[in-house]
Structure 1
Amino acid sequence: MKYRLWPRGLYVLGTLAGLGYLLWPLGSAQFAIHYDQQEAARTRAFLAERQPLPQASRPPNIVILMADDLGFSDISLHGNKQVHTPHIDALAAQGVNCRQAYATAPVCAPSRAGFITGRYQHRFGFENQMQQRYLRNRLEYYGYRLFVNSYPWHIRKMDAVPRQQDIRRQGLPPTEITLGELFQKYGYRTAITGKWHLGSAPYQQPHHRGFDYHYGFYSSHTLYAPEGTAGIIDTHNPRDWTDQHIWAGQRQGDHAIVRNGQQVQETDYLTSCITREAIAFMRQQQHAPFLLYVPFSTPHTPFQVPADLYERFAHISDPVKRTYYAMITSLDEAVGAIHGEIVNLGLEEHTLIFFLSDNGGAAYTFATDNAPLKGGKITPFEGGLRVPFMAKWKDVLPAQLEYPSMVSAMDVFVTACAAAGIPLPPGREYDGVNLLPYWLGERQEAPHAALFWKAGADRIVIKDGWKLLFKEHSDEQSLLYYLKEDPYEQRSLTQAFPQRVQALRQLHFQWSADFPAPLWPPLVQFEFRQGGQRFLFDI
């Protein structure tokens, strides 16, 4: 009898072992987030030591307008025929238009971390996109793989993931100094109206990171108005796998609208609310120097727009594209309202204005394709990394200057500090460059000898017009482009220039040699196909 039970017992044990393997929780202390407490204490002490304004005369106001997922080709100045953006274009006409400007990542949060610190985000472990959750167990992974068509997003197979308490700590480390913190130290009044996306733990929230005033939300997205609001068009997008997740957040948790940490209820269109709050702050602070950071959520999903703007694009039959271009119009009008208020307040000569986007357009929504650039958001091709970037400072910067050299979003930090006469904090390396002498013709060389990107196994470097994309531990799918002759990345020259490939690889490894490990792992891989080729990029 016992011999007949033996195979059955093995079967039961095997079944239990298999279930245990599938259901075993993946949360691991391997991804526990620990900060250098001594360095954090030194940072707090440095910021607590307030300094008088560095100049006898009033330093300039700094206004930074940031779009969300606005591609380089999404404005009329850069050739878009579907939408007219006169107010954004006017900033370039009255100032500087940087034709080869790059974000530090092709996705929101890491890009913003580099921008707001003036440093490559890899220096402090903010390499990957922040995540709200990871796989709980292997059963979820196989469920997604076998039963969910999530193309072009693929959940990564992982044997360990961050625990919930560590997920909540993802964000900007307390060892870093934000633009707001530095300007606050030197007596500026500071505000942010819009999207934060750099962490929602108490010590990461904007009113604890150098901003006297914050209005907006903490997450990657929120509703522009409560779903079903009269006068607002809600356009769901079944072709975008992320769309259901985007709408599901509603205005709950980190998607809630908050004012200095307290939730507020809004029914007006969010872009208008962000603009309203920005204008109110400028009016209140017009007699003292201020730093105003306005990170719009437009035109990031969900696709919602006022009906009157939607009607302007009745000639576009695709409701997704129609809503998208109407949203860009709302962004352009918001830029015009803020710019116009600066003029009306008599602050035009005393205000340095920046306009840029956090990354390229989200081609996976099918609302845009970033043409003629290749790729889009998430991808390290030009369509994902190259962004609109303009600056205006009346009677200081030249008007109608088309600046051709590479610049980075990190340059905003260093340029703003230089304009205000604020010294960079000692003891830390800054990767941004003061662009003022380049724009004023005082320096003729390129501001950056090279620019670098890294996320997971994906590595990218641009130097002397040559751009290399490669995998960290593989020679497969290495791509080499000469952007001066091939700006749309159509012809890879990897086989023709193997020595240049190796030189650029080594340059990238030298750049990243001393960086810490990422504070949290990527969750998904994004699939991009073109010309019979298939690429997977970590996010």
Structure 2
Amino acid sequence: MANYKKITKIILPILIVLLILAAFLLWPINTDGTLIKADEKLAEGKTAFLSQKDTNSEKKPNIIILVADDLGKYDISLYGGKSTPTPQIDSLAASGVTFTDGYVSASICSPSRAGLLTGRYQERFGHEYQPGDRYPKNNLEYYAFKYLINTNSWRLNDKINYPNEASIATQGLPKSEITFADLAKKQGYNTAIIGKWHLGHNKGFFPLDRGFDYHYGFYQAFSLYTPEDDNPDIINHHHKDFTDKMIWGNGRVGIGQIRRDTTIIKDKKYLTETFADEAETFIDKNKNKPFLLYVPFNAPHTPFQVRKKYYDRFPNVKDENKRVYFAMISALDDAVGRIREKVKKEGLEENTLIFFISDNGGADYTFATTNAPLKGGKFSHFEGGINVPFVLSWKGKIKPHTVYKTPVSSLDIFSTIAAVTHSGLPKDRVYDGIDLVDVVNNNKEAHKDLYWRSGDAKAIRSGDWKLIISGKTHEKWLYDLSKDKSETTDLATKNPEKVKELQTALQIWEKGLIKPLWPNLTYYEFDFGKQKYFVDL
């Protein structure tokens, strides 16, 4: 009896502690049910603008926008990269203009695409962070993610009231925004997106709700290039980081499923090739009327999968990770060539603009690319994250072998489309791009300043000067890009007035922005030795 009492005295407190701990861990995190609503005035302005009839009688050119996913500038031979010959992209560039300083408006997928499709800094309408598919539901999930899972350089932000399911469903490109597909459709174009969307996956946010007549692809940030099975024609390479495990684990389910419009497609063909197939078919069906074709490839974004015929092009690459990556880029290059060849075959070259760009820099966390000689990569506001491959071709309108050496932006694609389609632009909102055809042909300066923001992480390029401000620490670095493209020599302490000038310009720009429409779950830490840099995702 005495022993029983002793055991009870020991066990009972332990049980109480365990129950309290279990209650704490399983206790639901408070959620925020705020539904994101479109700006009513801008929504009304959009409706009024898109209802205007096209009165311009000039012949309208076809427009093709080809977008790579996580492709670094020096991953291709166009800019002198040695790892992967890209003859098709190089040839496209040779037929028109190569931009030596082509920038995107964000260093990560969804915000970058939001800027691309609207011609406006995405921070103007709150699309500052990646939309969230899921947030921690209780303390167990939160602390397990924060302390038990190896997330490498990804870090979890402090706990907040996370959006609930209803609120998550309202995340996406705000419905009040006008896309370049809306512009083209207003002008009588047939429009299509073939590839990755990543701008919302609920009613009102689907591609078919945003100006596109046709969609083949997926809604998510990623999907498998082909179902993972025992297919001997496919080489699969897995990474150890937690994001890669999540991608492979999800497979092709939910918003990662392949769809033709709203119908789920069970296709086992290699996705990069399928996107080229679909693009060729769309061109064939619409060759006798103006069309806008947006092809956001998911290559060479993870997961690393490639057909053996591309893999076999790199027999001397011993690193399996890099070999698969290079092969994926080679497959992408072939797809670009096929689409361009279809345009030629149908006799549409002189009446078709073709853009090629990447959504951000190479993902150096895969260890397949470094973006060298540029610093940093995807997520960062250093050159490796935002200075990307950028090409425009239009036979008879852009002189072949043109090289444009001052900064341009992905935001300019929208404004160029507005100019060549004679759509006009509404006066109720600020547009940040310029007409690239006019700028290139008349050798004008495209932009005096370019800006970036992701939470506390900010940057500005003004002429050759560039100021970068880290998130979290707010540390500032100043670079002269005319002498230091690799951003190795910080000139901030030697040029305090220039730092002040650029910081003031950033603050003025920020007055035209709004708060992010949804919170960011994570941030990313770059470790450059003595220099640490943080950016909200």
TM-score range, shorter-chain basis? over 0.9
1:397 aligned counterpart, secondary structure = coil
Aligned-partner Cα distance in 1 for 2:13–2:505: 55
In the alignment, which residue of structure 1 is the partner of 2:526? 528
Runs of 5+ consecutive residues of structure 2 not aligned to the other structure: 1-10
Q: Structure 1 residues 348, 527: closer, same or farther in 2, change over 3 A?
A: same
SS at 2:204's partner residue?
helix
The CA deviation string for residues 262-311 of structure 1, in whole angstroms up to 9 with x for no partner, is 11111111111111111111111111111111111111111111111111
Corresponding residue number in structure 2 for 1:316? 317
* Cα shift readout 1:173-203 (whole Å, capped 9, x = no counterpart): 1100011011101101111111111111121
Residue in structure 2 matched with residue 44 of structure 1 by the alignment = 47
Please say if residues 239 and 366 of structure 2, whose CA atoms lie closer than 8 Å, have aligned partners that are also in contact. no
**Matching residue's letter, 1:515:** L
1:26 to 13, 25, 29: 29
2:448 equivalent to 1:449: yes
Show the counterpart of 1:172: 173
Q: Deviations over 1:148-173 (max 9, x none)?
A: 22111112221321112212221111
Correspondence list, 1:56-455, <5 A: 56-228=57-229, 230-441=231-442, 443-444=443-444, 446-455=445-454
Structure 1 counterpart of 2:457, one-letter code: D
User: Cα distance 1:512–1:20, how it changes in 2: closer, same or farther (>3 A)?
Assistant: farther
1:24 to partner: Cα distance: 3.3
Tell me the equivalent position of 1:459.
Answer: 458
1:51 alignment partner AA:
K
Q: Report the AA paired with residue 418 of structure 1.
A: A
Q: Separation in 2 of the partners of 1:302 and 1:521? A: 26
The equivalent residue for 1:491 is 489
Shift of 1:534: 2.4
* CA distance in structure 1 between the aligned counterparts of 2:470 and 2:533, rounded to whole angstroms: 11
SS at match of 1:315: coil
Mapped contact 2:200–2:219 kept (Cα < 8 A): yes
Cα distance, 1:289–1:501 mapped onto 2, change above 3 Å: same
Deviation at 1:27, TM superposition (A): 4.2
Which stretch of structure 1 is more off in the superposition, 220-229 or 10-19? 10-19
2:242 aligns to what SS in structure 1? Answer: coil
Match of 2:3 in 1: none
Q: Compare 354-363 and 132-141 and name the one that shifted more.
A: 132-141
Q: Which residue of 1 aligns with 2:6?
A: none
> How much has 1:231 moved relative to structure 2?
4.2
Secondary structure of 1:177's counterpart equals coil
Decide whether aligned partners of structure 1 residues 17 and 231 sit closer, same or farther in structure 2, where only a CA change above 3 A counts.
Answer: closer
The aligned residue for residue 502 of structure 2 is 504
Amino acid at match of 2:38: Y
Q: Please tell me the root mean square deviation across aligned C-alpha atoms, in Å.
A: 2.2
**Cα gap change, 1:53/1:237 in structure 2, threshold over 3 Å: closer, same or farther?**
farther
Q: Which moved more, 1:463-472 or 1:199-208?
A: 463-472
With 465-474 and 289-298 compared, the bigger mean Cα shift is at: 465-474
Three-state SS of the structure 1 residue aligned to 2:405 is strand
Which residue number in structure 2 is paired with residue 4 of structure 1? none
Secondary structure of the residue aligned to 2:193 is strand
Match of 2:513 in 1: 515
In 2, the alpha carbon distance for the partners of 1:258 and 1:61 equals 25
Structure 1, unaligned stretches of length 5 or more?
A: 1-7
Cα offsets for 1:187-222 (capped at 9, x unmatched): 011111111111111211111110111111111110
Give the TM-score taking structure 1 as reference length.
0.94
In the superposition, relative to structure 1, how do residues 438 and 36 fare at CA in structure 2: closer, same or farther (>3 Å)? closer
Cα gap change, 1:72 to 1:295, in 2 (>3 Å):
same
Q: Secondary structure at the match of 1:224?
A: coil
User: How many Å apart are 1:493 and its aligned residue?
Assistant: 1.1
Could you tell me how far 1:223 is from its partner in structure 2? 0.7
Deviation at 1:465, TM superposition (A): 1.2
Deviation at 1:531, TM superposition (A): 2.8
Q: Secondary structure at the match of 2:183?
A: helix
Q: Partner letter of residue 84 of structure 1?
A: P
Give the CA deviation at 1:237.
2.7
Letter in 1 for 2:391: M
Pairwise CA distance, 1:32: 3.6
- Contact 1:31–1:519 (CA under 8 A) maintained in structure 2: no
2:273 aligns to what SS in structure 1?
helix
**C-alpha contact 1:470 1:478 (8 A) present in aligned 2:** yes
Secondary structure of the corresponding residue to residue 203 of structure 1: coil
The structural deviation recorded for 1:57 is 3.6
Structure 2: distance between partners of 1:53 and 1:391: 27
Name the CA distance, whole Å, in 2 between partners of 1:360 and 1:422: 31
Note closer, same or farther for the CA distance 1:313–1:473 as it changes in structure 2 (3 Å cut).
closer
Aligned residues: 530
Cα shift at 1:253: 0.7
| 1:41 Cα deviation after fit | 4.1
Q: Partners of 1:170 and 1:339 in 2: how far apart?
A: 35
